[in-house]
Amino acid sequence: MPVNTSASGADTTAPAISAASVAALTEVRLDWRHKAVPATASGTTHTGFVASGHTLADLQTPLLTLDAGAIRGNADRLASWCWEHGVLLAPHGKTTMAPQLWAEQLNRGAWGITLANFAQLRVARQFGVRRLQLANSLTDPHAIEWVAAHTSAEEPILSWVDSAGTVEVLNRTLASGQAVLDVLVELGAPGGRTGARSVEEAVAVARAIADSKHLRLVGVSGYEGSLAHTADDAGLAAVRGYLAQMRLLHERLHAEGLYGAESVIVTAGGSAYFDDVVSVLAPCIVEQSDGGPRVDVMIRSGAYIIHDDGFYRGISPFSRDGGDPFRAGMHGWARVVSQPEPGLAILDAGKRDLPFDEGLPRPQLIGPVLGGAMEPLTGAEITSVNDQHCFMTFDAESTSVRPGDVVRLGLSHPCTAFDKWTIIPVLADTNGDQSVADLIHTFF
């Protein structure tokens, strides 16, 4: 897999992220700003906290933890899969906004990091991420000017364009300078999110890009995940039909000679349908030759490195194919603060602590103390969440739940889990060795 090519095709072996900037996070001093850190550790550095041999038992609820083994395994798995299939990976960094985890992905050969907005681009550049993709259109003049000042052949920032109006905004903002931005034309679909709504509209946008002295067309982009939410026949048919239109768009642009680079990218693929993306778009892959540009297919899966016990567990290709699925790399921990009536317990974690938009947390285990022995919690259900509380129902005749008990929760959707925590403890093994192996810093 070609992991060291820039958008222009130039080979580069420079570090994909600043190791020094990432390492500096270990010197951050912990205090009251970090709700995952116990009060007794205030004033300790990240390094000092981890070196002190803390375990899950030293932490407090509500809590989100990560699983070191699951994260390593998931990262290795998709990196190997991309290599085997000859495709690039530019993980969507907005899932975690954690440079330490970006480094894990980049060090395994990822092309670069994908992000969603201007603020996220600035975080990535601060940590020395060299190759960036903005999976969005630049329409804010401040963002356009910043990207123009921070992109180069050695440190590219790619962005998407889906309308002639966006081309006009870019041209107007860049009119007084000499900057040329690398962009991909985005294909959408009726009922989808962004993107030109037809191949013909996208071709028209590509022609406007080709006519601009400030823009260079370097590929085709899209997002299939907004068109389906299931892995049944109807959902997969919608995804595959859309991807076929992306392929057609690429072929049209290539035939018209609208690409302005020696190396172009066709990119789609979140964490739910990346296998279909590669299956449908693989014919686009072309080695560079005298007859035209090199063409790479790039997926942008981001949630895979954490995975979950909900949405992605049910829809991920590795779950659907009957093989070895990704492992859930995050769990929630909450304490019973009230048991006000039979069959109802109120937990001390809520919307401010745990994700709930792709399914409510799922009770898995219960025990009298955090970090102690726990038993399966069968038949229990989280029925609703408030800002700081969960409502858990259970069978009062067969299950004993008391104030102070700790519940481990399976979670759904890592994209809305990480944003609630500035620091997240990493356990060596959630199901075994519960020592704190690291702390992950986030920048939302």
Going by C-alpha positions, the residue among 22, 224, 28 that lies closest to residue 105 is 22
Per-residue pLDDT band at 160 (split at 50, 70, 90): very high
Q: Is residue 60 part of a domain?
A: no
User: According to the 3-state scheme, what is the secondary structure of 185-228?
Assistant: EEECCCCCCCCECCHHHHHHHHHHHHCCCCEEEEEEECCHHHHC
Answer yes or no: do 95 and 218 share one domain: yes
Burial class (CB in 10 A: 0-12, 13-18, 19+), 286: middle
Residue 41 lies in a domain: no
Tokens at 231, concatenated: 């892995």
Give CA–CA dist 213/4, Å, rounded.
Answer: 28
The domain of 384 spans 324-441
Domain-embedded: residue 33: no
| pLDDT-based confidence at residue 10 (cuts at 50, 70, 90) | very low
Residues 332, 267, single domain; the answer is: no
**pLDDT tens-place string over residues 211-238:** 999 999 999 999 999 898 898 999 999 9
Query: Of all residues in the chain, what percent carry a pLDDT higher than 90?
Result: 91
* HSE (side-chain half, CA atoms, 13 Å) at 270: 23
Q: Are residues 216 and 341 in the same domain?
A: no
Q: How far is residue 399's CA from residue 434's CA, in Å, rounded to a whole number?
A: 26
User: For the chain, what is the mean pLDDT?
Assistant: 94
Residue 288 lies in a domain: yes
Based on the fold, state whether residues 352 and 206 are members of the same structural domain. no
List, for residues 239-278, the tens digit of each pLDDT value. 999 999 999 999 999 999 999 999 999 999 889 999 999 9
Domain boundary among 282, 315, 348: 315
> Do 311 and 357 share a structural domain?
no
- Shared domain for 305 and 349, answered yes or no, is no
Predicted confidence (pLDDT) per residue in 304-343, tens digit: 999 999 999 999 999 987 778 999 999 999 999 999 999 9
Is 296 found in the same domain as 187? yes
Tokens of 366: 């219960």
* 337, part of any domain: yes
Task: Give the per-residue pLDDT at 323.
Answer: 78
Are both 273 and 330 inside the same structural domain? Answer: no
By CB atoms closer than 10 A (0-12, 13-18, 19+), residue 73 is middle
- Residue 162: Cβ within 10 Å count: 24
What pLDDT is stored for residue 290 in this prediction?
64
Last residue of a domain, one of 315, 335, 354: 315
Q: State whether 300 and 416 are in the same domain.
A: no
Which among 315, 350, 380 is the end of a domain? 315
Tens of pLDDT, residue by residue over 396-425, are 999 999 999 999 999 999 999 999 999 999
For 69-73, 190-194, 396-400, which range has the lowest pLDDT when averaged over its residues? 190-194
Looking at the structure, tell me whether residues 203 and 336 fall in a common domain.
no
**Whole-prediction pTM:** 0.94
Instruction: Give domain status of residue 56, yes or no.
Output: no
What is the rounded average pLDDT of the residues 114-140? 98
Q: How far apart are the first and last CA of the chain?
A: 31
Tally of structural domains, the chain: 2
Half-sphere exposure of 206 toward its Cβ, with a 13 Å CA cutoff?
27
Residue 378 sits in the same domain as residue 268: no
| Bridge partners for 367 per DSSP | 406
CATH, residue 351: 2.40.37.20
DSSP 3-state assignment of 337? strand
The C-alpha torsion from 271 through 276 and 279 to 280, rounded to 10°, is: -120
**Secondary element (H or E) of residue 338:** strand 330-341
Q: Name the nearest CA neighbour of 346 among 379, 384, 392.
A: 392
Q: Is 49 inside a domain boundary? A: no
Is residue 175 assigned to a domain?
Answer: yes
Taking only the tens place, the pLDDT of each residue in 339-373 is 999 999 999 999 999 999 999 999 999 999 999 99
Cα gap 368→358, rounded to integer Å: 29
Residues 268 and 386 in one domain: no
User: What's 127's domain CATH number?
Assistant: 3.20.20.10
301: phi then psi, degrees, rounded to nearest 5: -55, 135
